[in-house]
Amino acid sequence: MGHMKIVAIEPKNTRTHVFSAFKLPRLAMPLLGTILRNRGHEVIVFLEELGPVREEVVREADVVMISTITSTAPRAYQMAERYRKMGKKVIMGGVHVSFLPQEAIEYSDFVLRGEGDETIVDLIEAIEEGGPYDHIPGLTWRRNGEIVHNPQAKKVVNLDTLPIPDFDLIPGVNPAKMRIYPMMTSRGCPHACIFCSVAPMFGRRYRFRSKELVLEEITRLKKGQHLFFYDDNFTAHIPRTKELLEGMIRQGFKGDWSAQVRIDIYKDKELLELMRKSNCFLVYVGIESINPETLKTYKKGLTYQQIVEGVEVLHKYGIRIHGMFIIGADTDTPETIQATLDFAREARLDSAQFLILTPIPGSVLYENWQKEGRVFSTKWDLYDGHHVLFHPKNISITKLQEDGFRLHREFYSLGQALRFLLRGDIYGAYLRVLGHRYVKRWIKENRDYFLELQGIEQRLAVSTSG
């Protein structure tokens, strides 16, 4: 077993979005990097969110791995093309290319679809030996110029075989000084929301790392670090979440933590008590909509009443809530979109984002709308939840885009900041001031896109009236 020089890169989205302020290191590359390093390879990881890719390091490498989500795909492809011209073997992976391998293989030598934790090791060994490649599950590659898609792996990765990601692999990043420490304790999601690519990517079978391993990793955290659980649904299996939190309390966990949860956890007082005791600072909640019709279309399985009650109860336990909404469903009208904003304010959500419905490759929505010809742009860098890319049913394209701006502008207004300040909620006020700054910048950045949408609208009006 020889050893290869490998560079792993997670590109960033160069556009401003409302949460540009919070730099969350993504986990895939540090994790794969650690797996390969433990196999004796020399690995350096660059997360562009945290710092630039150093070209001189790439020049020394044998293999470059690039991970991408939809909104970072154009940047990832650009990099891939450049490094291939430098004579590097380029492997691409991540959600976006898993569903569009045909597209990604144009820019790279190999595309790893789905979970790459086990297959990456085999692929690197095969590259070292110059092939063969037909035995590697989930691999898209070229055999004599012909594109081959190897069948997907039959089994899912056992998360307990994965090492703790070593953030020391990132030059200039000191794990002890990372303000936010990201950790994954599970993969998959038992739900099947139509706009989401998690279940198609990782399966609806929800699986998790053993409690012992997670708690061991948590003991490594330094004072003052905030723990962010990267799980798509941290409370999908409540008994297990409780055991984990009990363990954290027993261990005397000193920091605080945040995670994505479903709002219906508010019914479980024992869970909330444990969340409070273990210093849960904030939960990210996909509320999506307060329009009952829209909640049905999204297949979210929640009711308006549950949402209102849930926010109230979580606040009673001192847990802050970041509400995530999605506007632009076929059941949405200008009125229901306005109601979403009113709700977010009245419920006193600590922070919120109002994302425009986006047909992410891999989601049911993407499949359906592509067939119906409703998607008018596949400029992937616009797929960040802040741009209208499809023809809505009961609202014009420009009005929906305008609302995407307006809801953020009004939620993060300085008047709202003042209100929070007067209530003695410094954090809420701070977030509004911060949000206010980003929203202004973001509206400026997107003026041209808005004009483009007006053009599309005018052409539509002409073609339908003619």
pLDDT at 176: 81
Q: Could you identify the residue written with the tokens 């898609």?
A: 149
Number of domains in the chain: 2
Q: Distance (Å, rounded) from C-alpha 327 to C-alpha 38?
A: 45
Please choose, from the candidates 81, 79, 127, 85, the residue with its C-alpha nearest in 3D space to the C-alpha of residue 106: 81
| Residue 465 counted as domain residue | no
| 196 within domain boundaries | yes
Residue 226 lies in a domain: yes
CATH of residue 350's domain is: 3.80.30.20
Asked if residue 172 belongs to a domain, the reply is no
Instruction: Domain of residue 50: give its range.
Output: 5-149
What's the chain look like in SS3?
CCCCEEEEEECCCCCCCCCCCCCCCCCHHHHHHHHHHHCCCEEEEEECCCCCCCHHHHHHCCEEEEECCHHHHHHHHHHHHHHHHCCCEEEEECHHHHHCHHHHCCCCCEEECCCCCCHHHHHHHHHHHCCCCCCCCCEEEEECCEEEECCCCCCCCCHHHCCCCCHHHCCCCCHHHCCEEEECCEECCCCCCCCCCHHHHHCCCCEECCHHHHHHHHCCCCCCCEEEECCCCCCCCHHHHHHHHHHHHHCCCCCEEEEEECHHHHHCHHHHHHHHHCCEEEEEEEEECCCHHHHHHHCCCCCHHHHHHHHHHHHHCCCEEEEEEEECCCCCCHHHHHHHHHHHHHCCCCEEEEEECCCCCCCHHHHHHHHHCCECCCCHHHCCCCCCCECCCCCCHHHHHHHHHHHHHHHCCHHHHHHHHHCCCHHHHHHHHHHHHHHHHHHHHCHHHHHHHHHHHHHHHHHHHC
Selection from 245, 239, 155 nearest residue 205 by Cα? 155
Phi-psi region of 150 (alpha: psi -120 to 50; beta: other; left: phi over 0): beta
Regarding whether 305 and 227 lie in a shared domain, the answer is yes
DSSP β-ladder status, 139-143 and 110-112 = antiparallel
Handedness of CA 46, 51, 52, 55 (dihedral sign): negative
What is the pTM assigned to this prediction?
Answer: 0.90
Does residue 261 share a domain with residue 376? yes
Q: What is the pLDDT along the chain (466 residues), one digit of tens a residue?
A: 568 999 999 998 877 765 544 556 688 999 999 999 999 999 999 999 888 999 999 999 999 999 999 999 999 999 999 999 999 999 999 999 999 999 999 999 999 999 999 999 999 999 999 989 999 999 999 999 999 999 998 888 899 999 999 999 999 888 888 888 999 999 887 777 788 888 778 777 788 899 999 999 999 898 889 999 999 889 989 999 999 999 999 999 989 999 999 888 999 999 999 999 999 999 999 887 777 777 777 666 677 888 889 999 999 999 999 999 999 999 999 999 999 999 999 888 999 999 999 999 999 899 999 999 999 999 999 999 999 999 999 999 999 999 999 999 999 999 999 999 999 988 889 989 988 998 899 989 999 999 999 999 998 888 766 5
pLDDT of residue 196: 83
Report the phi/psi class of residue 352: left, alpha or beta, with left for phi > 0 and alpha for psi in -120 to 50: beta
pLDDT score at 1: 52
Residue 116 shares a structural domain with residue 196: no
* 145 and 192 part of one domain: no
For residue 268, give both structure tokens: 């479980």
> Residue 52 sits in a domain of what CATH number?
3.40.50.280
Q: Is residue 174 part of a domain?
A: no
Asked if residue 123 and residue 233 are part of one domain, the reply reads no
122 and 44 inside one domain: yes
Which of 106, 128, 149 corresponds to the end of one domain?
Answer: 149
Question: 216 and 79, same structural domain?
Answer: no
In a domain, 164, yes or no: no
Considering the domain architecture, whether residues 334 and 374 belong to the same structural domain is answered as yes
Residue whose pair of structure tokens reads 């970041």 in the numeric block: 322
Residues 131, 183, single domain; the answer is no
Q: What is the pLDDT of residue 21?
A: 47
